[in-house]
Structure 1
Amino acid sequence: MAIELKVPEVGESITEVMIGVWKKNVGDSVSTDETVVEIESDKATVELPSPSDGVVSSILKQAGEQAVVGEVIGYLEAVSSSQTTPATTPESPASLQAQSVDVRHRVGSTVIGSVQPASGAGPVMPAAARVLGEAGVSPGAVSGSGPGQRVTKADATSAVSASSSPTASTIASVKSEPQPAMTGTTAISSSEMSRSERPVLMSPMRRRIAERLVEAQHQAALLTTFNEVDMTSVMELRKKFKDNFVDRHGVKLGFMSFFVRAAVEALNVVPQVNAEFRDPHIVYRDFCDIGIAVGGGKGLVVPILRNAEQMNFAQIEQSIGDFARRAADNKVKLEELQGGTFTISNGGVYGSMLSTPIINPPQSGILGLHAIQERPVAVDGQVVVRPMMYVALSYDHRIVDGREAVTFLKRIKEM
């Protein structure tokens, strides 16, 4: 019996999605609730589980193609659980020969391996094209194992691995060849240099991020103010309590919890930064839903700490750690990304020393943290070396005046 695989509801007002990675190919067996394919929306990536034990019989939408909610993107052939393990059949010599890849390339006059074009290669799936493009392997050199001889990501990965790992016989032949004496630097001809371009379709999430960043630039009166924080006291507190904190709460005491607590206090002092512009009104809030920017498998995501004003250090660290782990696997829930009254972004984890973050509309402020660096500073008339961090507040000048923005950062600095 054929079972339809339909695009599920992925969130309010979302009608179109992009097909992500197919976890199963045609002919693969699948168990109930096992992930068959990833669906990407402009907010998050969701997994489509199998409704039954079965075998994937058809894939109608390939990775990178658009689909609408409720559309059939593939079929399963239902089978009993005892039938889902396919029998192993020996491969014929012909099929083994078709899968073999000559991995010799030539640079200058020395043979170090080159990939031979494969005959009958089919269409290249987007994920496979990305892998091949990054490795510099020609798609025409890869035999496809997917439907219609499509080149899948697995095919691309295998080809890249083969091209980067010469066989023992190739290595032996290279060693046995007499090497020309080096008489200088040999120029590589332009015909041997790659200058290719490859268009890659933007994911819905990447497209939405782009739209919102441009929206913020066009609709808000953006301005950024800066200050610097002496991190000596925070680092001493972390050092003093880190072991006890882990023992009691099962999570490390990081820097982010200090800044979340400081931001909550500063937002209480300067409520305009926690407000929203809704022409002709300014909407003030008595709660702090703080977004924490974390790197995900498909890009930056900003899950929300709801009612951060009610959270202690342990709860903040546990929540951020959970968000980071799930973001890496694209498993942050859609509702966890919606809303938010203020955002904190830590570019310091990537080594950023100073930046001007962009607010997340319709929010009115974002706090940018940066790398901690030891710098000479003046303290009580003496030059001393202290661990310092630059902090930045980008804000909507329609709501927040310069005095209020500076006051906000001074409160962060004093916490």
Structure 2
Amino acid sequence: MSETVKMPALGESVTEGTVTRWLKSVGDTVEVDEPLLEVSTDKVDTEIPSPVAGTIEKILVEEDEDAEVGADLVIIGDGSGSEDSGSDDSGADQSEEKGEDLADDETTAPSTAQETPAGEAEKPAEAEQDSSGGTAEGQEVTMPALGESVTAGTVTRWLKEVGEEVEVDEPLLEVSTDKVDTEIPSPVAGTLLEIKVGEDEDAEVGAVLAIVGSGDAAAATPADDSSEKAAEEPTQEEKPKQEEKPKQEEKAEQAEAPAKEEKKQEQSAPAPQAADSVSGAESSGYVTPLVRKMAADAGVDLSSVKGTGLGGRIRKQDVQEAIDAQKSATEAPAAAPSQAPAAAAKAAPKVEVSSKRGTEEKMPRIRKVIGQRMVESLHGMAQLTTAVEVDLTRIAKLRARAKEDFAAREGAKLTYLPFLMMAAVEALKVYPQLNSTIEGDKIVYHGAEHIGMAADTERGLVVPVIKNAGDLNLAGLARQIGDLGAKAKGNKLVPDDLQGATFTITNTGSGGALWDTPIVPAPQVGILGTGTITKRPAVVQNAEGDDTIAIRSMMYLFLSYDHRMVDGGDAARFLTYMKKRLEEGAFEAELGL
């Protein structure tokens, strides 16, 4: 009995979705709740699980095709029927028709080196036909859908080489798009047989990136060699003759063995560091060739490096940190003697010259995208910036009192940013002009506050989004800031993390800047910048109302906005609201004080 799987409801106001990738093929078996396909809508990318267990009989909606909610997607049966429903062929005929599926079965290991059993002379021909199609020997790894409106990506780095083994869900390559940099995992376990798209080349969504298979094709040459060796092996009649070696020859070989072993040890002795790197890689899991070479060149033992990548994988950044630590350890003792003779004279600071000085490199895709977006935004809006100065002394005292208990209770660090973001979200609710979008002749005032949080990473600027920030308290904002910040630094952001912002905050002050004039990211109409917090003299009123000078924690807030939508008065009122809210420092209830 067959059952039809339909397109489920995928969210409020969502009426249809696009099938971006089928995770199962016709003839494959599927378990209950096992992912069947990936679907993309204008709000979310998600996987559709199977409601039943069985065998896929027919796919009704192909990849890149749209389907309305409730539409039939696939037919799943109990596996008793043949692949083309209504066929009454015998079991032998069915196995011949489904030779491709049988070759993909993990319990079947087709090999060109195996002898063909009697009565199955036709099957090798089928195997060759499947092999030419690339499905019997391996499975295609395609470019997945990487976010709404993303149609292509650039292969930035292959993490595996042809001939290397790969596990299910182990990262195969890194891909960059105009929205995110991410790793593409292998859908199957096996050997990387072929790379279809080289590094720095573009590939559309759905394009074949690589072939991963059982390794039979890759091992064809060794298999042939082994068969030749087998053919060269002596027959049972010849073996006794060869076994009757003269004792003199055996003694000579025994005498030469220690010398050969000593020679091997001498040959391996000159490169102990490279050997340590390799052994370290084996003990720490998979290491990319680039990282392995980087460690070997610097003499870093990978067994002593802690990986911060997926599953503890050692990344380039981890090795660089180890190199820097090793360099600091060797430079410190060398610097001491030189300082001793001239202790009275202060040594000039050492200038760390960048390795990029005087070099050229290809512009990364993320830099191209950032540049293009910023130019388009700056030229498409009438942008200007307004700033105010804010006294954060009360916030600083509250934070000092509460940060340890807050971290223990909420599992998140209490930085200044949650206070600033909470004040901004409240101001957006009061002044929705800053939380709007211009769409032709219409102004759309958003019904929720989705805050983009600009993050500076080694790859460049990324802006993860805190969804429904207006519904979160101070602890919720702190957790979201910490989680998304960690994902940004670890290159773990997914496309959904980067979409849907209605207003953006950029913490320019984290780099020490007092203030800035940030560019508004279209189609938003405002971006708030936060400067660094500095202690300096300021005029304040004492309890008697007299002006006095005191040391205060001061900072600048600066707001860039689209003058087509926001007037200077709107910007000033927005910033003044934030200034008053922060200087009052009424956050005790949020902190449990």
| TM-score (normalised: structure 1) | 0.72
Q: Find out whether 1:393 has 2:544 as its counterpart.
A: no
1:160, CA displacement in angstroms?
Answer: 4.6
In the alignment, structure 1 residue 199 sits paired with structure 2 residue 336: no
String of CA shifts for 1:333-369, please: whole Å, max 9, x gaps. Answer: 2112111111111011111121111111110111101
- Whether the 8 Å CA contact 1:297–1:329 is kept in 2: the answer is no
- Cα deviation, residue 61, structure 1: 2.2
State the shift of 1:385 in Å. Answer: 1.5
- 2:448 is equivalent to residue 278 of structure 1: no
Q: What is the match of residue 266 of structure 1? A: 427
CA distance in 2, matches of 1:305, 1:36: 29
Partner of 1:255: 416
Q: Does 1:403 align with 2:569?
A: yes
Cα contact 2:432–2:445 (8 A) shared by 1:
yes
What letter corresponds to residue 343 of structure 1 in structure 2? T
Q: How many residues align?
A: 325
Q: Pick from 351, 372, 390 the counterpart of residue 229 of structure 1.
A: 390
Judge which range, 361-370 or 240-249, deviates more. Answer: 240-249
Q: Name the counterpart of 1:153.
A: 290
Contact kept, 8 Å, 1:64 with 1:201, in 2: the verdict is no
Secondary structure of the structure 2 residue equivalent to 1:374: strand
Residues 374 and 335 from structure 1, CA distance in 2 versus in 1: closer, same or farther, beyond 3 angstroms? same
| Structure with the larger RCO, 1 or 2 (CA within 8 Å, 6+ apart) | 1
- The CA deviation at 1:156 is 5.5
Instruction: Give yes or no for the alignment of 1:337 onto 2:515.
Output: no
Residue 151 of structure 2 corresponds to 15
TM superposition shift of 1:313:
0.9
Cα distance, 1:382 vs structure 2: 1.7
SS state of the match for residue 194, structure 2?
strand
Bigger Rg over Cα: 2
Amino acid at match of 2:148: E
Distance (Å, rounded) in 1 between the aligned partners of 2:501 and 2:386 = 22
C-alpha displacement at 1:212, in angstroms?
Answer: 1.2
Q: 1:331 to 1:399 in 2, by over 3 A?
A: same
Distance 2:165 2:155 in 1: 20
Q: Using the alignment, how far apart are the partners of 1:159 and 1:65 within structure 2?
A: 28
SS across alignment from 2:452: strand
Q: Counterpart of 2:525 in structure 1: which amino acid?
A: S
Q: 1: distance between equivalents of 2:187 and 2:446?
A: 43
**Distance in 1 separating the partners of 2:459 and 2:450:** 23
SS at match of 1:39: strand
Q: What does 1:1-400 correspond to in 2, within 5 Å?
A: 1-78=137-214, 153-154=290-291, 157=294, 160-161=297-298, 196-203=358-365, 205-380=366-541, 381-400=547-566
Counterpart-to-counterpart distance in 2, 1:72 and 1:297: 29
Looking at structure 1, the residues matched to 299 and 434 of structure 2 have their Cα atoms a distance apart, in angstroms, of 55
> Contact 1:289–1:307 (CA<8 Å) still a contact in 2?
yes
Q: Partner of 2:188: helix, strand, or coil? A: coil
How far apart are 1:22 and its partner, in Å?
1.6
Aligned-residue offset at 1:264: 1.4
Shift of 1:206: 2.5
Match of 1:266, SS?
A: helix
Contact (CA 8 Å) 1:245, 1:253: kept in 2 or not? yes
For 1:162 and 1:62, locate their aligned partners in 2 and report how far apart those are by CA, in whole Å: 29
The alpha-carbon deviation at position 200 of structure 1 amounts to: 0.9
Q: CA deviation at 1:45?
A: 1.9
Residue 232 of structure 1: how far off its partner (Å): 0.4
TM-score by length of 2: 0.51
Q: Report the more deviating stretch, 235-244 or 153-162.
A: 153-162
Instruction: Report Cα offsets for 1:364-392 as digits up to 9, x if no partner.
Output: 11110111111111113222221111110
CA offset digits 1:164-220 (Å, max 9, x no partner): 99xxxxxxxxxxxxxxxxxxxxxxxxxxxx9854231421x3222111111111011
Partner-residue secondary structure (3-state), 1:358: coil
Q: CA deviation at 1:162?
A: 6.2
Q: CA deviation at 1:299?
A: 1.8
Q: Distance in 2 between matches of 1:314 and 1:158?
A: 41
CA shift at 1:66, angstroms?
Answer: 1.5
Contact 2:142 2:206 in 1 (8 A): yes
